[in-house]
Structure 1
Amino acid sequence: MTSPEGDYTGGGSIISPTWILTAAHNMFDDAGLQLEPAHVKVHVGTRRSISQQARDVTEIHVHHRYNQTDAGDNNNYAYDIALLHLKESLTFSDKIRPVCLPCTKEVTDFLPVPAGKWQIQCKDQDRILTGFGGSEPREVSGYVSGWGVTERGRPSSDLNYGLISIKSRDQCQKDNLDHSQFCAKGDGVDSCAGGKITDEL
């Protein structure tokens, strides 16, 4: 995603032809004010910072419990999630595809969860994919990606990725996580600004 000036503002995930999932803190400027849709453009379809498709944004929906002041002052990113609605649908290809979200029929088709009510199926998907958000002693690995700052301290013009694993809450006590978060770490790997964790089902 970029600003009107072309500055990189953060990453996101395609979840449908017209919706992008990102971090809520990407949608605020340095003064803590939420960006207007006209000030955000979404780019997709390349490993370089120049995209194959660019789309204008018509709506920004930040989670109603996200607190930008808390995030900036206390480094507390609870409910750090937002949705962007695109003005024009994306054209899917071998390089432009949506991610599968937990608690959907598509994910249920891949995971061995019992038939029944959605609440039960969602709970089982959470257990399999994150070990109940890291509360169970299990390790689930996935990849984070983005164009953020590298170990050299400069933004990258190439898409980078790294392997991380969801850790138990006992291993992340100092991170002060709440129920809306889980802890994931890698060997010399980190991600922010909308960097998502994905895995192949």
Structure 2
Amino acid sequence: MGGNPIPKVNQIKHLVIKNDLKREKKLDLYVFGVGTDVNKEDMNGMVSQRDQEKHFFKLPNLDEVQKMFDSMLDESTSVGLCGIHHYDKDNNRRAYPWLAQINVARPPQSSNCMGSLVTSSYILTAAHCFKEGDTPERISVTLEKDLAVKVEKYILHPEYDITAKQHMGIKEYYEFNVALIKLKEAVPMSVNLRPICVPCTRETNGALKLSDSDGTCKKHEDLLMSNELVEASFTSQMEPSTDVPRKIRNITIKRGKYRDACVEDAKKAAGINVTNAKDAVTDNFLCSGGTEPSTDNVACRGETGGATYVNKKDQLIQVGVVSWGVKDLCSKRNPNPLSQADSRDYHANLFSEKIQSFLKEHLGNDNIDNPLSFF
């Protein structure tokens, strides 16, 4: 970029070594030279010298630098590095390494849902994807292409009860509509298989670059959900015979002055006959959709259970689970509809205390591989 790098190198060395030469072994200095006019000899005294290790890299252009960093940052054995994703034109799966599609066979038909890999052995999805009598053998999970995974069991949130408010005029009630699928074996972590971040965990604390003392559930919620309009996304189902989604659904989660109108539209859904919309949409839901102040995408059948996520510091953090909607606007002729003024989607809120308790009970006590560390 121009200028002499030696003064900066000396500052770095001084910061680490601090007059104690024994500390020099704790310092690794790498140099990346970009372009054709870089001479290796000019790097003498700048890079660290280690046997069997390379610290100087000469690369032809910035694209190669990006590839180099991507390969260096591929900590594929560390489950703790949640939410990392890369847009790679040669490997689309790298952008959605947490994405899961779930099929439950119920002859003559089957049920499809989406889900998210939240640890190497658990997938988070919606409780209504399952019915009484479903067995693990009927459940197939698609992650990375050609990877066969077997299901040990599914676990519904203990307070999920779709009939709980029928006496109030709510035919199907979706509060606490979350479930976990426990895999028989942990899947191997790689650039194509990596969990999405779950809030209120030390793993997400790292993704948000917070110190241990700053890590609290409230701090995470303040950082991720403080605006009245929170930009978020979820995905469509996967392309046939691939492991990537057909479409990304971009939404704004309505909070503050925008939330009441979003909740009120729940009364327009079929099977809901209530005076107070908050009977159907409690604080345990997030709300998206509508056309004000901008037009959202909306969910289609088969996309429930998927991760509602935000991009923070270029890492993906799940804040909700796609649960239910007011209108079905999707068709074969229009598989990617935009919202109408009163079409809304509701998402199980992962910051809900009772949903956090459920996740902590199971994901914090994962006996297969790496449990999450909840606050």
With the shorter chain as reference, the TM-score category is 0.7 to 0.9
Q: 2:157 aligned to 63, 67, 91, which one? A: 63
Cα distance per residue 1:148-181 (max 9 Å; x no partner): 8xxxxxxx63722111111022232313321211
Cα distance per residue 1:21-49 (max 9 Å; x no partner): 00001112xxxx2522222121102xxxx
**1:43–1:184 CA distance, 2 compared to 1 (3 A):** same
Does 2:308 correspond to 1:197? yes
Larger relative contact order (C-alpha < 8 A, sep ≥ 6)? 1
Cα distance per residue 1:44-84 (max 9 Å; x no partner): 02xxxxx3323111121100110133599634311000001
User: Does the Cα contact within 8 Å between 2:123 and 2:180 map onto a contact in 1?
Assistant: yes
Cα distance per residue 1:66-115 (max 9 Å; x no partner): 01335996343110000010012212222222100010112222437686
Q: For 2:223, give the aligned amino acid.
A: I
Structure 2 spans left out of the alignment, 5+ residues: 1-101, 267-277, 313-375
Query: Which stretches of structure 1, 4 residues or longer, exceed 3 Å deviation after superposition?
Result: 4-8, 70-73, 110-118
User: 1:101-180 counterparts in 2 under 5 A?
Assistant: 101-111=198-208, 116=213, 121-131=216-226, 138-147=228-237, 157=240, 159=245, 160-168=247-255, 169-174=259-264, 175=266, 176=278, 177-180=281-284
2: distance between equivalents of 1:164 and 1:103? 23
Q: For 2:128, give the aligned amino acid.
A: H
User: Does the Cα contact within 8 Å between 2:234 and 2:250 map onto a contact in 1?
Assistant: yes
Cross-structure match for 2:28 = none
Does 2:293 correspond to 1:185? no
Cross-structure match for 1:48 = none
How high is the sequence identity, in percent, across the aligned residues? 25
Give the structure with higher Rg (CA): 2
User: Does the Cα contact within 8 Å between 1:113 and 1:124 map onto a contact in 2?
Assistant: no
Cross-structure match for 2:115 = 12
User: Secondary structure of 1:52's match?
Assistant: coil
Does 2:134 correspond to 1:35? yes
Q: CA deviation at 1:117?
A: 8.3
1: distance between equivalents of 2:289 and 2:127? 21
2: distance between equivalents of 1:127 and 1:171? 22
Instruction: Please say which of residues 172-181 and 57-66 is displaced more in the overlay.
Output: 172-181
**1:63–1:71 CA distance, 2 compared to 1 (3 A):** farther
Cross-structure match for 2:128 = 25
2: distance between equivalents of 1:123 and 1:34? 39
Cα distance per residue 1:104-146 (max 9 Å; x no partner): 112222437686486xx10121222234xxxxx5221121102
Structure 2 length-normalised TM: 0.43
Q: For 2:136, give the aligned amino acid.
A: P
Cross-structure match for 2:103 = 2
Structure 1 spans left out of the alignment, 5+ residues: 46-50, 132-136, 149-155
Aligned residue pairs total: 178
2: distance between equivalents of 1:71 and 1:54? 39
**1:127–1:74 CA distance, 2 compared to 1 (3 A):** farther
User: Secondary structure of 1:74's match?
Assistant: coil
Structure 1 length-normalised TM: 0.75
